[in-house]
Amino acid sequence: MSKQQRAKLVVGNWKMHGRLAANATLLRAIAQGAGELPAAVRVGVCVPSLYLAQTQSLLEGSPVVWGVQDVSAFTHGAYTGEVAAPMVSDFGAMFAIVGHSERRAYHRESAELVAVKTQRALEAGLTPIVCVGETLEEREAGSTEQVVGAQLDEVLEKLSAEEAARLVVAYEPVWAIGTGKSATSEQAQAVHAFLRARLAAKGAADVPLLYGGSVKPDNAEELFRQPDIDGGLIGGASLKDRDFLAICKAAASVAG
């Protein structure tokens, strides 16, 4: 099977958006739309953890899977305000995003902390979506590969090959997140090929590699057509059912 024929994965990252009533409308629409997609596209949503129970009750029995946007580096204990990975698992979740650039920047999460969170997610049976990405300054300085390589290596060093094979990795250039300025498909593919080689060296070449950063209905297909882009991590456009489902359809049009 050629790389172009890999299954695609499209995951919404709601960030700190949503309220009970709006969530219900959005989740029902996504569940219905996803039901009409071919099996080669898997759809997920990562919601604020407070809404996990609601998400589980609305999505159970649908083809859509769900998850959270962060987990604690600890399994339990006196860590006020934290949510532990096993708690997330209690609600039937599949995914935990770890190392999103907003957490690295605004919550001072180090590469090492991201690696520990990845381990906690794996131990709890979750699939970590490990985010890596460079800032505009880093790209302009020509250090993109060095930055994303170091971010990925920090995680891979702590994992066995079997554990590494259970990851999803998302390349999200910081300058493309929420800016409306997506990476070009060539820029994204180049970094994905680099990440793929790093993962292959660890024996985890088949890890799904998602692109994130201003993916919209009008650029999704071109991005997803790239041989090493296995889908997308979608922020702003995942909050509108029509846009999100249009992106899922774009994935379907290029999925094997």
For the annotated binding site for substrate, the residues are 13-15, 178, 214, 235-236
| Cβ–Cβ under 8 Å, residues 99 and 130 | yes
Which of 100, 109, 154, 192 is flagged as catalytic?
100
* Residue 176 CA: distances (Å) to CA of 18, 146, 160: 23, 18, 32
Active site residue 186: no
In this complex, which beta carbon is closest to ligand PGA, that of residue 136 or of residue 205?
A: 136
- Closest CB to ligand PGA belongs to which residue? 235
Q: Which stretch binds ligand PGA (CB under 6 A): 20-28, 76-84, 154-162, 229-237?
A: 229-237
Q: Determine phi and psi for 65, rounding to 5 degrees.
A: -105, 165
Active site residue 100: yes
* Residue 193 CA: distances (Å) to CA of 42, 158, 187: 22, 22, 10
* Residue positions forming the annotated binding site: 13-15, 178, 214, 235-236
C-alpha to C-alpha distance for 73 and 99, rounded to whole angstroms: 11
Q: Determine phi and psi for 209, rounding to 5 degrees.
A: -110, 110
Q: How far is the CB of 151 from ligand PGA (least distance, A)?
A: 15
Choose which of 44, 128, 231, 236 interacts with ligand PGA (CB under 6 A).
236
Q: How far is the CB of 251 from ligand PGA (least distance, A)?
A: 14
Q: How far is the CB of 177 from ligand PGA (least distance, A)?
A: 4
Should residue 248 be labelled a site residue for ligand PGA when binding is judged by CB under 6 A? no
Among all chains, which residue has been given the structure tokens 């898997």? Answer: 42
Q: How far is the CB of 26 from ligand PGA (least distance, A)?
A: 15
Structure-block tokens of residue 112: 């090492």
Structure-block tokens of residue 179: 């800016």
C-alpha to C-alpha distance for 172 and 160, rounded to whole angstroms: 24
Structure-block tokens of residue 106: 């605004």
Q: Which stretch binds ligand PGA (CB under 6 A): 74-82, 139-147, 198-206, 212-220?
A: 212-220
| Cβ–Cβ under 8 Å, residues 194 and 145 | yes
In this complex, which beta carbon is closest to ligand PGA, that of residue 231 or of residue 235?
A: 235
DSSP label at residue 213: S
In this complex, which beta carbon is closest to ligand PGA, that of residue 48 or of residue 236?
A: 236
Binding mask 146-185 for ligand PGA (x = CB under 6 A): --------------------------x----xx-------
**Which 101-130 positions form the footprint of ligand PGA (CB under 6 A)?**
none
* Helix%, strand%, coil% for the chain, nearest 5: 45, 15, 40
Q: How far is the CB of 192 from ligand PGA (least distance, A)?
A: 16
Q: Catalytic amino acids?
A: 100, 172
Question: Where on the chain is the footprint of ligand PGA (CB under 6 A)?
Answer: 13, 172, 177-178, 212-215, 233-237
